[in-house]
Structure 1
Amino acid sequence: MTAENVLTRVVTTSTPAHAHPAWRRWLLTREAAIIALLLVVVLVALSSVRNFGSPLTLTYLLRDIAPILLIALPMTLIIVTEEIDLSVASVLGLSSVITGVLTAAGLPFPLAALAAVVAGALCGVVNGFLVTVVGLPSLAVTIGTLALFRGIAVGLLGTTAITDFPEFWTDLAKASIPGTPIPAIMIPFVVLAIVFAVLLHATPFGRALYAIGLNKEAAHFSGIDVARSKFTLFVLSGAVSGFAGVYFTLLYSNARGDNATGLELQVIAAVLLGGVSIFGGRGALHGVIAGVLLIGTLGSALRLAGVSGEVINIITGVLLVLSVVSASVLAWARSRRTAAIGRRRLRAARSSADLQT
């Protein structure tokens, strides 16, 4: 089999089977199931949870999940390639500290924010170098850099916090789109979501990412620069995490080394819940966005209903486990079905050959 044929098979299996009708490709998917579940949760919450339908609830909900929505975009692409980045929350915390320290030193806020985003990208360079050049597993690398970046952030500020930021920028972070309860941060998120969606679903680079996730050796022999593709994703993850850190700092008017501790677990949970396979090669951004909204909406409704944070964490964990288990079950069922089809075709071919002889 030629390299081109290998790539064709890999890319074909990474996306929906285009032999099926369009309605089946869109409706009979895990992403559609998550969207449907999100709608059910919203309807139930509207009918049974007091004040859930108020504009203020929507505003606070979208503000709170905005960092998760942002970081989930590059995280989706990374997990599609069968890698992972556990350092994103630490990068967010470090960029928050850098924003605060530089602002307190008198640097104009836009320059401080730009420096924080660049610092995030450099953190991604470190991760990407260790994974793609040194050849270390991304899980081990990003567990290490999770502690490293968090340690640097805490070391820069200690137990203190910087809370004095230009009022114009803090007001902007908390502002809503005029005439709506939708926070202004949704504008850059939508722009980034479109960019990442086009990159993943409508470019050769995106198809290459699916191919890498399914079989990186086959992708390599098909001419795909696996190392450069993964390196690019880690840099993007760092930069977006840095931007999320700037927003997080302004939203809460607080730069601390422990900002967003544990956020990486929420991001990964949302990505997996949204239909991205932890084994790589499968996933779609619209499912991930629905997964983030589902977790955020469920948490908001339960808090308004008086449910404790511990119970909410348990429910989120159960959803994550179910999503991973269901993905494995579906993959097993799909492989069994494919094998059965192959056996039927082989029997049909043998019968045809027997008739000809």
Structure 2
Amino acid sequence: MTSADVRPPVTAGTRQQAAQTSGAQLAHRLFMVRELGILLALVLLVGLTFGVNHRFLSAQNIKDLLLSSTVLAILAVGQAIVIITRNVDLSVGSVLGLSAFATGVLFVDNPAVPIPLAMLAGVALGALCGVVNGGLIAAARVPALVVTLGTLYVFRGLDYTWASGRQINAADMPRAFLRMGNATVAGVPVLALFAVAVLLGAGYLLRNYRSGRELYAIGSDPDAARLSGIAVGRRVFAAFVISGALAGLAGVLYAARFGTLDANAGLGIELNVVAAVVVGGVAIFGGSGSVYGAALGAVLLTTIGSALPVLGVTPFWQRAAVGALILAAIGLDRALAVRMARRLRGGRTRGN
């Protein structure tokens, strides 16, 4: 008898570990299928629109699409992290508006302030808003939907009170800051590079760090995660702080992109952010999805907004198309969850 013929005994623990490994591999494959499907839909939409109007893929139009996607993609990354934990942040639009206006005021009152310092201030203000949200949700255990719906109005009200009807114009801000909003590196907008950096950083955190993987465990079953020793409150708090910080960064980039700021900046964008995350394959009930899919969802929704008018589709049907995508994404999430559950049950049955 050789060593190859000697096999370790199959125990209940071994079977459970094998089932968990199989489940993780299956989940990873399903996520890849979802993201590839979104990418395919994006390619088909761009190809169809290009066939109708060849100028759709002009260098300037591609640049405009990337710039338009940047803010939404950054917000979607933060929102995806929150939704993975089975929560939602409806205040991101108000946080964006507050941070954008704060950035403009900072430049007006201190024209010589370094741009990195101004950006850091905007991110810090957004993170502070995330602390408010996360503290109420994690410490007081108030539902995230209720808390962030309330802070959506609170933060927007603070913005309106601060602005008092005032508008900050591009002439009031440094030219170097405004140039950053339209500058390119090798043809790629600088603002899009910020979004790529945020996406890669968040993706690496979720995939390679224990704290990131614990967010998925919390979203899958918060009670089980708590019983297994995961600091659920602390992780959820951190998720909201990250979402707030990214909303603050998005506000700074919004200011650089548009230059003209008032208290209405980012008004209503939170619904588009949630739509992008759901369309991007992040399960609204938490526990699955990726920030890469969320970013692809943001690019897809932005492209839909630019492509459908070229195709002669009325604004009503543009909104209907986005709604249909959301419903299809939710239905697909449910179908994939059922399929995964059947596969896992089948694996356990064979193991027994």
Please show how residues 169-318 of structure 1 align to structure 2 within 5 Å. 169-178=177-186, 180=187, 182-318=188-324
Report the TM-score, using the length of structure 2 for normalisation: 0.88
Q: CA deviation at 1:11?
A: 7.1
1:17 aligns with 2:51: no
Q: CA deviation at 1:225?
A: 1.0
Please show how residues 338-357 of structure 1 align to structure 2 within 5 Å. 338-339=344-345, 345=350
- Cα distance change on mapping 1:42 and 1:11 into 2, 3 Å: farther
The number of equivalent residue pairs is: 335
Q: CA deviation at 1:62?
A: 0.9
- Cα distance change on mapping 1:262 and 1:207 into 2, 3 Å: same
* Percent identity over paired residues: 35
- Cα distance change on mapping 1:267 and 1:10 into 2, 3 Å: farther
The CA distance in 2 between the partners of 1:323 and 1:139, in whole Å, is 21
Q: CA deviation at 1:14?
A: 7.3
Residue 190 of structure 2 aligns with an amino acid whose one-letter code is A
Q: Name 2:135's counterpart in structure 1.
A: 129
SS in 2 for 1:16: helix
Farther off after superposition, 82-91 or 212-221: 212-221
Residue 335 of structure 1 aligns with an amino acid whose one-letter code is A
Residue 180 of structure 2 aligns with an amino acid whose one-letter code is L
Please show how residues 89-108 of structure 1 align to structure 2 within 5 Å. 89-106=93-110, 108=113
Contact 2:31 2:289 in 1 (8 A): no
Contact 2:182 2:190 in 1 (8 A): yes
- Cα distance change on mapping 1:299 and 1:9 into 2, 3 Å: farther
- Cα distance change on mapping 1:341 and 1:35 into 2, 3 Å: same
The CA distance in 2 between the partners of 1:14 and 1:303, in whole Å, is 43
Contact 1:45 1:52 in 2 (8 A): yes
1:71 aligns with 2:75: yes
SS in 1 for 2:86: coil
1:83 aligns with 2:91: no
Structure 1 residues 90-112: Cα deviation after superposition (integer angstroms, max 9, x where no partner): 00000111112222223525344
Q: CA deviation at 1:223?
A: 1.8
- Cα distance change on mapping 1:11 and 1:247 into 2, 3 Å: farther
Gaps of 5+ in 2: 1-12
Residue 17 of structure 1 aligns with an amino acid whose one-letter code is L
Gaps of 5+ in 1: 350-357
SS in 1 for 2:260: coil
The CA distance in 1 between the partners of 2:36 and 2:124, in whole Å, is 36
Alignment RMSD (CA, Å): 2.5
1:45 aligns with 2:54: no
Contact 2:31 2:290 in 1 (8 A): no
- Cα distance change on mapping 1:315 and 1:136 into 2, 3 Å: same
Residue 114 of structure 1 aligns with an amino acid whose one-letter code is L
The CA distance in 1 between the partners of 2:217 and 2:291, in whole Å, is 17
- Cα distance change on mapping 1:201 and 1:311 into 2, 3 Å: same
Report the TM-score, using the length of structure 1 for normalisation: 0.86
Q: CA deviation at 1:10?
A: 10
1:166 aligns with 2:171: no
Q: Name 2:158's counterpart in structure 1.
A: 152
Q: CA deviation at 1:47?
A: 1.6
- Cα distance change on mapping 1:297 and 1:115 into 2, 3 Å: same
- Cα distance change on mapping 1:17 and 1:336 into 2, 3 Å: closer
The CA distance in 2 between the partners of 1:11 and 1:214, in whole Å, is 13
- Cα distance change on mapping 1:11 and 1:87 into 2, 3 Å: farther
Contact 1:276 1:288 in 2 (8 A): yes
- Cα distance change on mapping 1:115 and 1:338 into 2, 3 Å: closer
Residue 236 of structure 2 aligns with an amino acid whose one-letter code is K
Contact 1:74 1:240 in 2 (8 A): yes
The CA distance in 2 between the partners of 1:132 and 1:140, in whole Å, is 13
Q: CA deviation at 1:316?
A: 1.0
Q: Name 2:58's counterpart in structure 1.
A: 54
